[in-house]
Amino acid sequence: MKEEAERWWKYSESDVKTAKYLFEGKKYKDASFYCQQAVEKALKALLLKRGKKIIKVHDLVKLAKVLNLGEELIKDCERLSIVYIDTRYPDIGTKQYTKNETSEDIKIAKKVVKWIKKNL
């Protein structure tokens, strides 16, 4: 794996661990944010691995489409893409994250990251 792609990948793996840690501490909104970040960084690692340049966006759907991930994974990315805006901007994101919702975000993040790892 290219050195830069490897750096992005390692950050992605760290973000998955951080999401789990925050989840255990009942910081559901923050855990969901790290799920989004893990997938974003994994997608960018795959972009680099495939010889493409980093696209400076937080839109997971856009990144997934550039990589031709397929409808199921794009749908997963759509759910997590919303999390970025919802968790970062207080004037927009007023949603309270529940244990069940964040648990699903973690499940999705692990699924997408696992798929990307197989394809790196």
**pLDDT band for position 93 (50/70/90)?**
low
Q: Which of 1, 19, 41 is nearest to 105 (CA)?
A: 19
Q: Which of 104, 98, 83 is nearest to 37 (CA)?
A: 83
Residue range 63-92, pLDDT digits in tens: 999 999 999 999 999 999 999 888 887 777
Cα 9 from chain centroid (whole Å): 11
Residue range 11-52, pLDDT digits in tens: 999 999 999 999 999 999 999 999 999 999 999 999 999 999
> Which domains are present in the chain?
3-119 (1.20.120.330)
What pLDDT sits at residue 85?
85
What pLDDT sits at residue 16?
98
Please give the model's pTM, rounded to 2 decimal places: 0.94
What pLDDT sits at residue 35?
98
Tell which wins on pLDDT, 55 or 92.
55
What pLDDT sits at residue 86?
84
Q: List, as own/partner pairs, every contact residues 66-72 make where C-beta atoms lie below 8 angstroms and the sequence separation is at least 24, other chains included.
A: 67/43, 69/115
The answer, yes or no, to whether residue 110 has pLDDT greater than 90, is yes
What pLDDT sits at residue 94?
66
End-to-end CA distance of the chain: 7
- CB-facing half-sphere around the CA of 13: CA atoms within 13 A: 8
